[in-house]
Amino acid sequence: MFSGDLDKAMAGFIIANGAAAMGDDVTMFFTFWGINILRKSEYVPVKKGFLEKMFGWMMPRGADKLGLSKMNFGGMGSVMMKKIMKDKQVSSLPELISTAQSLGVKLVVCTMSMDVMGIKEEELIPGLEFAGVATYLGEADQAGVNLFI
């Protein structure tokens, strides 16, 4: 998960949860904007440099604050999409994330991206693992399905 868009995050978790429900071992690796999907929705006071603070302030705080990759219209598209999904009884992204965790999907966060974007472990939801590109490659190399989303 490179992207921090609501629609792409949903696609990623629907595929991951589908595979986990079919009995596959599933690992999701979160890097760059994808890390925003896993931020806590509340403000967490941590020590940051000036640019880190700016980045943290501009980036969406968690799964419920993400925009769409298309037709977002300053957030209105995202609100509309969530309304439709609720009407159609499709799981929301926060629900998909907690389903993933209860199905045993491993959620791994890229430590280098955290460092660059100034995101601290306390700002993220619980139940995550932390690793680098070598871990990603080790898992991906053995995977039947491996996507860059």
Angle at 148 between CA 147 and CA 149, to 5 degrees: 105
- Which uninterrupted H or E stretch holds 129? strand 129-131
Both tokens assigned to 123:
């700002």
In this complex, which beta carbon is closest to a second copy, that of residue 12 or of residue 106? 12
Q: Which two tokens stand for residue 68?
A: 């769409």
> End-to-end alpha-carbon separation of the chain, Å?
5
Distance CA 81, CA 41 (A): 19
Task: Give the x-and-dash track for 6-35 against a second copy (CB under 8 A).
Answer: -xx--x--xx--xx--x-x------xxx--
Residues 63-102 that bind a second copy (CB under 8 A): 69-71, 80-81, 83-85, 87-88, 90
Footprint on this chain of a second copy (rule: CB under 8 A):
2, 4, 7-8, 11, 14-15, 18-19, 22, 24, 31-33, 49, 51-52, 54-55, 58-59, 69-71, 80-81, 83-85, 87-88, 90, 112, 115-118, 133-134, 136-137, 140-142, 144-149
